[in-house]
């Protein structure tokens, strides 16, 4: 009897990436070596068949979060200044009917400074005294067209709101994409099993099997890497000389998960940050147990039974050796 055990598991991919070209290669030169390739020693008579799928999903909705900080001498002043900046911005943003906004209260705390207390025959004493208030809020903006973010930044910057904390990506098709990945992976797995059976010249129908699978989702926010434009001078300098180096610009770039590790890819060509959904299914076939079953030979002993009425019947009795 075929025994299939389904195991639910969470899949974690350990992937490494390299930029093929660009200024990043000045800083990080990629070294290729055969030592990077490791081949696991298979268990005797045990086959592990794996299928990996990747889907690049374009986001349908976005949420940008901007941080706002306001300082004032009194609670009334700090609230008034903050409301003016936010309300002026919201009035212009809401002209876009597709955009939705939400203001998130973060903190409202007093700000202190030190007053020096002078004494004739002792050290100076510094006393902490209230100097004002600090108010922090976050502005959330939901939109559907990524090009709208430039318009929002232009509006907010006129009201001294500059700090873009993050942009989140959302899609309503993720569940359907997961089902599509699973179906494609099943077909690919079946094809791989047939190929293995052809190569080995045997069937896995009655072999013991274990299946594990899992998903992983990578959001664009998680896939940015830091990058420093860097190329130092190659001139030989006197060891005694003083060298003043220029500060190099540091930025970041979007590095998606590359498709070279996968058996198939849905929407392989991308030109913008996307939501990446990965699925892996792993089938373990234990052929050792199947061979053990075959070696348990059973003997068939033929017996003849003569009934009291004189009838002769053949009896096939199965006995183990």
CB atoms within 10 A of CB 249: 9
The continuous run of DSSP H or E covering 165 comes out as: strand 163-170
Q: Is residue 272 in a domain?
A: yes
| Residue 45 pLDDT level (bands cut at 50, 70, 90) | confident
Q: Is residue 28 in a domain?
A: no
- Residue 318 and residue 300 in contact, taking contact as beta carbons nearer than 8 Å: yes
Q: Is residue 238 in a domain?
A: no
| Residue 39 pLDDT level (bands cut at 50, 70, 90) | very low
State pLDDT tens for residues 235-248: 555 565 676 677 77
Say whether both 150 and 67 belong to one domain.
yes
For the chain, the domain total comes to 3
CA distance 211 to 281: 7
Say whether both 258 and 297 belong to one domain.
no
Say whether both 176 and 275 belong to one domain.
yes
What is the DSSP secondary structure assignment for residue 36, as one 8-state letter? G
Q: Which residues contact 121 (CB under 8 A, 6 or more apart)?
A: none
Q: Is residue 18 in a domain?
A: no
Residue 257 has pLDDT above 70, yes or no: yes
- Residue 139 and residue 105 in contact, taking contact as beta carbons nearer than 8 Å: no
pLDDT higher at 143 or 228: 143
CA distance 93 to 140: 11
Tell me the DSSP string of 223-291.
GEEEEE----------TTS---PPPPPEEEEE-PPPGGG-SEEES---SS--EEEEEEEEEEEEHHHHH
Say whether both 155 and 211 belong to one domain.
no
Q: Is residue 279 in a domain?
A: yes
Nearest to 286 by CA among 42, 51, 52, 50: 42
User: What are the tokens at 203?
Assistant: 């069937």
Say whether both 47 and 191 belong to one domain.
yes
Say whether both 161 and 177 belong to one domain.
no
Query: What local confidence, expressed as pLDDT, does residue 127 receive?
Result: 66
Query: What local confidence, expressed as pLDDT, does residue 110 receive?
Result: 86
Alpha helices (H) in 165-213, listed in sequence order: 174-200
What is the DSSP secondary structure assignment for residue 311, as one 8-state letter? -
What is the DSSP secondary structure assignment for residue 27, as one 8-state letter? H
- Domain of 311 in residue numbering reads as 291-319
Say whether both 193 and 208 belong to one domain.
yes
Q: Which residues contact 126 (CB under 8 A, 6 or more apart)?
A: 114, 115, 116, 117
Say whether both 180 and 283 belong to one domain.
yes
The arithmetic mean of pLDDT across residues 294-305, rounded, is 57
User: What are the tokens at 149?
Assistant: 């973010």
Among the ranges given (67-71, 163-167, 173-177, 286-290), the one the predictor scored with the smallest mean pLDDT: 286-290
Greatest Cα pair distance in the chain: 136
State pLDDT tens for residues 145-191: 999 999 999 999 999 999 999 999 999 999 999 999 999 999 999 99
Give me the phi and psi of 306, to 5 degrees please.
-105, 115
Half-sphere exposure of 30 (CA within 13 A, CB side): 12
CA distance 319 to 88: 91
Q: What is the pTM of this model?
A: 0.68
Nearest to 71 by CA among 102, 103, 110, 106: 110
Q: What angle do CA 273, 277, 32 make, to 5 degrees?
A: 75
Residue 318 has pLDDT above 90, yes or no: no
Query: What local confidence, expressed as pLDDT, does residue 211 receive?
Result: 93
Residue % of the chain over a pLDDT of 70 = 68
CB atoms within 10 A of CB 298: 8
């Amino acid at each position: 009897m075929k025994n299939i055990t389904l195991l639910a598991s969470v899949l974690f991919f350990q992937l490494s990436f390299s930029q093929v070209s660009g200024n990043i290669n000045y800083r990080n030169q990629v070294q290729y070596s055969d030592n990077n390739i490791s081949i696991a020693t298979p268990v005797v008579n045990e086959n592990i068949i794996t299928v990996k799928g990747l889907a690049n999903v374009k986001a349908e909705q976005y949420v940008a979060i901007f941080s706002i900080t306001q300082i004032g001498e009194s609670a009334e002043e700090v609230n008034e200044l903050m409301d003016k900046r936010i309300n002026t911005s919201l009035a212009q943003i809401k002209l876009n009917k597709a955009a939705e906004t939400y203001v998130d209260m973060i903190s409202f705390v007093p700000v202190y400074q030190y007053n020096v207390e002078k004494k004739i025959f002792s050290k100076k004493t510094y006393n902490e005294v209230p100097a004002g208030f600090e108010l922090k809020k976050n502005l959330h903006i939901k939109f559907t067209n990524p090009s709208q973010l430039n318009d929002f930044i232009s509006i907010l910057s006129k009201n001294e709101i500059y700090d873009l904390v993050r942009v989140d990506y959302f899609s309503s098709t993720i569940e359907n994409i997961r089902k599509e990945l699973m179906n494609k992976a099943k077909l690919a797995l079946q094809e791989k099993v047939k190929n293995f059976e052809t190569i080995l010249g045997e069937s896995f129908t009655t072999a013991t099997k274990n299946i594990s699978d899992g998903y992983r989702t990578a959001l664009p926010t998680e896939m940015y890497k830091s990058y420093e434009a860097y190329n130092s001078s190659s001139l030989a300098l006197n060891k005694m000389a003083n060298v003043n180096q220029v500060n190099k610009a540091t930025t970041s770039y979007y590095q998606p998960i590359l498709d070279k590790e996968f058996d198939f890819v849905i929407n392989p060509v991308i030109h913008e940050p996307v939501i990446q959904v990965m699925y892996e299914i792993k089938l373990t076939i234990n052929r050792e147990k199947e061979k053990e079953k075959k070696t348990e030979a059973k003997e068939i002993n033929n017996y003849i039974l003569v009934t009291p009425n004189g009838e002769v019947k053949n009896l096939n009795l199965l006995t183990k050796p």
